[in-house]
Amino acid sequence: MKKLLAPLCALGLLLSACGQSAAPQPTDDDTLHIVATTYPVYLFTTAVTDGVDGVEVSLLVNQQTSCLHDYTLTVGDMKAIEGADVIVMNGAGLEDFMDDALSASHAQVIDCSEGVNLLPAQGHEDHGHDAEYDPHIWMSYENAALMLKNIEEGLCVLNPEREEDYDRNFDNAIDAMGYDPDKLAVLAGKPLITFHNGFQYFAQATGLNLLKAIEEEEGSEASAAEIKEIVALIEEYNIPAIFTEANGSDSTAQAIARETGVAVYQLDMIMSGDGTGIQPYIDAMEKNMDTIVEAFG
């Protein structure tokens, strides 16, 4: 997994002070308060800060969800942002819902998407979203390594007295990650149809052939043309299974399954959970791979 870090030496770290040039200092309680915007970012941040004294990490969006397009900040969210010394965000447009809150915040911001090779957004065509890039960058280990590196470097700048701890935790997290080459060999070239648009980076990293990704939300199911296209792809590629997202809608997928006889499996975007550190992320990624291997027999 160390080989994934070769491109990192050229990374530029984005640290936005939102109008403040000085690095944040721990508040009166001698604690550096870090807010991670989403669950994947929270897992990476808690991995880098594991066991570090004087650092507290909290999760902003803490609910089961598959999509943040329509998320609205709560009063509690606003208070958390207001009280943060550091905000760690996914970037790539995922947190557009909190632009106004960030502009009013005095916290430093670490953007985890810095240095990531962003892919164009897909799957939004009939659902009213116009994102330029696919923000689901954490769905590959290589991108996760870049995100971890951004967090580590950012915290080393903002909290240099704990640099050794952050470096050690980063190394431990990287050492824990790595795709199983046998599973990659099984997955290579397998046709994938998903009912969530968040698996583009996962497919690229694992060698899957992502034929179609539809952003299906409650009350916004696939169109008749999309259903017809999916049925045709299932027949053309002799596909045994299609995939939904754990927290998303599966109504169209189940309808297609009844029509074609394919199985429906769930994949996990890792957008919610109750764990900390790198292991829940690794477990979810491994489970996704196991699920696809099982689906294709």
User: In the chain, what are the domain boundaries?
Assistant: 8-176, 181-295
User: Which pLDDT tens digit goes with each residue over 270-295?
Assistant: 999 999 999 999 999 999 999 999 99
Three-state DSSP class for residue 24: coil
User: Which pLDDT tens digit goes with each residue over 5-50?
Assistant: 333 333 333 343 333 333 344 445 789 999 999 999 999 999 999 9
Q: Same fold for the domain at 8-176 and the one at 181-295? A: yes
State the pLDDT confidence band at 246, using cuts at 50, 70 and 90: confident
Q: Which residue has the tokens 């990659």?
A: 184
Q: Are 89 and 37 in contact (CB under 8 A)?
A: yes
| Rounded mean pLDDT, 219-228 | 81
What is the domain class of 8-176 according to CATH?
alpha beta
Nearest to 268 by CA among 278, 251, 280, 279: 280
What is the domain class of 181-295 according to CATH?
alpha beta
C-alpha 213/C-alpha 195 separation (Å) is 6
Residue 124 has pLDDT above 50, yes or no: no
Q: Counting beta carbons within 10 angstroms of the beta carbon of residue 177, is it exposed (0 to 12), middle (13 to 18) or buried (19 or more)?
A: middle
User: Which pLDDT tens digit goes with each residue over 80-107?
Assistant: 999 999 999 999 999 998 999 998 999 9
C-alpha 218/C-alpha 148 separation (Å) is 33
Burial pattern 81-112, b for ≥16 Cβ within 10 A else e, equals beebbbbbbbbbbbbebbeebbeebebbbbbb
Which is it for strands 241-245 and 263-267: parallel, antiparallel or unpaired?
parallel
pTM value? 0.87
pLDDT at residue 216 in the model: 65
Query: What residues contact residue 214 under an 8 Å CB cut-off, 6+ apart?
Result: 123, 194, 195, 196, 197, 222, 226, 230, 252
Nearest to 285 by CA among 133, 101, 143, 119: 143
